[in-house]
A and B are shown apart, each in its own frame.
Chain A
Amino acid sequence: MDSCRNGCLILALVALLCLSVSASPNVLSEADKKFGTELLIKSEGSVSTLEEKYQLLRSFQVLGIRREELITCSEVEAVLMSSTSVKDLFYASKCGETLLCSFQESALKTTVSRLLSSLDNTEALLDIHFSLGTLAFLKVQFPVALNDPVSIFQKIKVLSAEDGSWKYNPDDAGTSAKAAGTALETMGDLISLAGQAFDDAKIRYLKGVASKLFEFLEKYDDGTQFIDERPLDGLYGGGGPLAATSQVVKGVAVVASHTSGHIEVPAERVISVAKFFLTAGIHGSLLDMFHVLDGLGVLDKNRFLVPVILSVRPSVLSLSAKEVFKISTTTVLGSPVSATITLRKAVRANEKEPFLLNQVLESDETKGVHNLNDILNKLDIGSYDLTFKVKILEEGRYATEPITIRRVLVTGVASIPEVEVGVLDSDTGSTDYVKRWNPMSKEVVSLYATHLQKLYFGLDILSPRQEQFIPQAFLKLKHETKVEHLFLLKPSGKKLELSLNLLGLVEKLNYLSGIYTIDLIVGDVAMENPVMWNLGTVELDLPEPPEGKVKLTSQAESPFKYGPRPEITHMFRPAEKRAPPTLSNTFLALTLVPLLGFLVGLKLLNTNMKNFPSSGLPVLAALLFHLGIGSILGLYALFWLKLNLFQTLKLLALLGTVLTVPGYYILSHLADASAPKVKSA
């Protein structure tokens, strides 16, 4: 039972960790929008193509700004009338859509007929997409009729793959989710042009494709999800994951806007995609900004699901400035959405016990803003994890994360009433001298200590709510020669303390006696008033350094720390003693003496040389045999002096073969010659 409970606790902790690790980006604030607008205005001068102009226009539109300097309706009309590129026609019509231009049928009749004929002749998805998009825009102005909508539908459908992704062309090797998004957008345009050709089966099919597209989402570690770009997409415009995700979202939105009823999309994934765009934010190239804003624009207002994001502002609250928390539930672009929010719990960071539970927030319905003022007088400085539960009133259209955790930092002014400074006896611990330093009076202390004593520093720090608070605190001792030493004060019980045992520190201080100034440094991320106080001076009487150790001055210290080190010289092993040459030469001669003795002995014995053959082939063989042996010995000598093993072995093999032939011959000759003798014996 116990292990079960522990296991559950661990799981809960892990789940909590995962939740807190997830990204919690903020929705686009007014400041963000202003910044984005400035960036876009700056890049106005560098756009030239229709596609770029449309991207700028659409970005401005999402930010709520109308810019007519970029392109005018008459320019759009001119393009629509004369251009032969379906891509230019498409982007021109998109510009016209954004600018809310209106055109006459008479002027664009030829364009329409050109587009209709191109639809009959093309198989490529992008061409169909551009043509249908233009025609859908024109249909808003005047009636447009398609020749054969069903065959166009089939042309698009034939490019699909089993798993729900799409190709751009019939002969493409791969498929991608981005292409599927484009296909959906195209089919949505087709519905708007020829809705009567779409029966229930086709609509169901389209909704199924849209739902299935969300399965292609991939995850980042921070919990955001996105559609990744496949290599195929790179061939048809590219744009990275931002473009791919934005296209998929657009496709689903267009289908949703032209069909009635509901498309099944997983809420959690739509929210993750919204977070993906919000985390990407407004910066970077014009193209990236366009994709982010385009995607956010679709997610802000659509007919399938609108993600709602909880914002807690400010994320760093200053108690001294009497700031208040404003919690809002809005769409990604900041439009308020009605909801009830409950603060499930508020926990101090790194603590387990929540100090506040289940507080329903008061809300101002019209503005979608909720107050958290009740807890302000309970908050102290530090970090808090606030867990919120959100319930949206209109659940069909909107979706949000039911439970979110937000971390906030509360800052304030900490107070330090006094600092205790003392000199203690090392052995007994009894106080020889203690003084209380007051930050108000700033009266400096003047201490004297020898190496047999201890220095003691202690202080209490109080938060604005008069609670104990532990920031970071350092003590700096600085000698007259500008040598500094830093020590860390550690919490013990309710105080921060530092006890310097001078006996142990003598070496660290480099045996430098003299007057040291004492500085206390206290600070923390939650503390709005960090301090550095000069507490006074301490005169340290340290013993002399032991023999051989140089007492370093400050000048000497720096080269040792940062300057070059002394050069290391290698000590090679001393060469070994060899025998003097005369002695070794004598022995060389001596070694040869037995050889001479051997030869003399041979002579004395009247060696039998009679068997040496005297004529014919045997002579040659015998000669060769002896020569062969002699040459092998010569080879050995060469081997010793010069050659390596492989060369020697090669030559040896050669000589060996040369040797064996005559050797065999002569020996068998001798054997035959002496055989009768042996037999007779």
Chain B
Amino acid sequence: MRGVARDVKALLSSIINLYVFYTLCTIVIKVVYMALVGSFPFNAFPLGFLSCVGTTVQAICLWMQVNPKNKEFKELSLEQAFVDFVLTNLVLHLVVMNFLRVERERE
């Protein structure tokens, strides 16, 4: 039990890991909600779902780029990776907001 706790603590030791964990939790909750209520309005579920997934993916990318053990991304600096993360997040959320707006207007 304590071993598991220690592992979890190690896993969550960096911010990025924590962030990834946070988004994953949000995904789980959303899926459960949709399963309960049904998929009207239809587009709301994929939007919410994919938004979370998107940020998760971006976070993972950032983690990959930042990890010193990772040999691929050695040339890329920390800051640049961070900027990529921020920009891609912004674009993703722009698109998500657009479709949310359409959904809202359709009501």
Contacts and interface: CB of A to CB of B under 8 A. Distances in A.
Contacts of B98: 639, 645, 648
Contact of B79 (A641, A648, A671): A671
Interface in B70-107: 77-80, 82-83, 86, 90, 93-94, 97-98, 100-101, 104
A594 B26 contact: yes
B37 A584 contact: yes
The 5 closest A-B pairs by CB, nearest first: A594-B25, A598-B22, A667-B79, A579-B37, A636-B97
A5 interface: no
A601 B18 contact: yes
Interface string A252-276: 0000000000000000000000000
A377 interface: no
Nearest to A595: B22
Interface of B: 12-13, 15, 18-19, 21-23, 25-26, 29-30, 33, 36-38, 40, 77-80, 82-83, 86, 90, 93-94, 97-98, 100-101, 104
Interface string A621-636: 0000000010011001
Given A605-B18, A637-B97, A641-B104, 6 more contacts: A601-B18, A601-B21, A605-B13, A639-B97, A648-B98, A667-B79
A674 B26 contact: no
Contact of A583 (B21, B22, B37, B97): B37
Main SS class of interface, B? helix
A663 B79 CA distance: 10
A561 interface: no
A594 B21 CA distance: 9
A640 B15 contact: no
Contacts of A587: 29, 33
Given A594-B29, A668-B79, A602 B40 contact: no
B18 A598 contact: yes
Interface of A: 576-579, 583-584, 587, 590-591, 593-595, 597-598, 601-602, 605, 607, 629, 632-633, 636-637, 639-641, 643-645, 648, 652, 663, 667-668, 670-671, 674
B57 to A, nearest CB: 17
A593 B12 CA distance: 17
A591 B22 CA distance: 10
A578 B86 contact: no
B56 to A, nearest CB: 12
12 contacts: A594-B21, A595-B22, A607-B15, A629-B86, A633-B93, A637-B97, A640-B97, A641-B104, A645-B98, A648-B98, A667-B82, A670-B78
Given A590-B29, A594-B26, A597-B25, A602 B37 contact: no
